[in-house]
Amino acid sequence: SHTQEVSVARDHSTPIPAALAQVPLRTIRPRDATAVYPHPRPQLARLTEHGLLHRLADGYYVVVPQDMVGRPWIPGLEAAAAGIGTAIYGADEIVVMGISAARLHGAIPRALASAIIAVPHQHRPIALSDRPAIVRFVKRQTAEIDAELIRTELGPTLVATPEQTVLDLARRPSLGDAEPDVRTALAALYARSDKNRLRELATGQRRLASLRRAEAWVHAGS
């Protein structure tokens, strides 16, 4: 409610400026805050101390949801990784892929320690500071990835479709160090895939070998 929001802001005496609260996937870097603060780093550190921002990694902060201010809160790894990717490249230029897409599609139940984000230009991996996990970036023509918008706790983000993820997992099963989960995830996503769409994608992306490998794994496991 409005009164609750006012009291939360009063408790913390430093409300988040609207310009920061409205960034895509709620994730900001100090350079994104220069329009609001001439010297953003100490201000962002102060907002973090007040519990209004959560520090994901060196130089990356996420706006804590209003109803979680003052409580222990940490965003899911895949949402956090999408937020970091979005802060660097923009929301339309990144796609959550591979094991991270499988997680967001519900095909890998356990939490992972790596997140995989497709991006238009190479970027070094980023280690998170709020948990032992790493965000890895894969350079791809992101516009050519078959993707759909999926809601996360930080907002909607582009995620590779089940069909695209089948091909990606079969092509690079070790990407993201989750190999024990890859075959079961692939089988679950394959079962839910549109087989015509899968073949179209594999043909268009020259991934027929990946499709054959995926089908061999699925049939071997059934």
Consecutive 10-residue averages of pLDDT for the chain (222 residues): 42 73 94 92 94 96 93 96 98 97 96 97 97 98 97 97 98 94 96 97 97 94 72
Q: What is the pLDDT of residues 169-216, one digit of tens each?
A: 999 999 999 999 999 999 999 999 999 999 999 999 999 999 999 999
- Which residues, other chains included, contact 221 with Cβ-Cβ below 8 Å and sequence gap of 6+? 183, 184, 187
Give pTM, 2 decimals: 0.91
For the four alpha carbons of 107, 175, 63 and 57, in that order, the dihedral sign comes to: positive
Residue type, 8: V
In sequence order, which residues have a C-beta less than 8 Å from that of residue 22 and are 6 or more positions away?
none
Please tell me whether residue 16 adopts helix, strand or coil conformation: coil
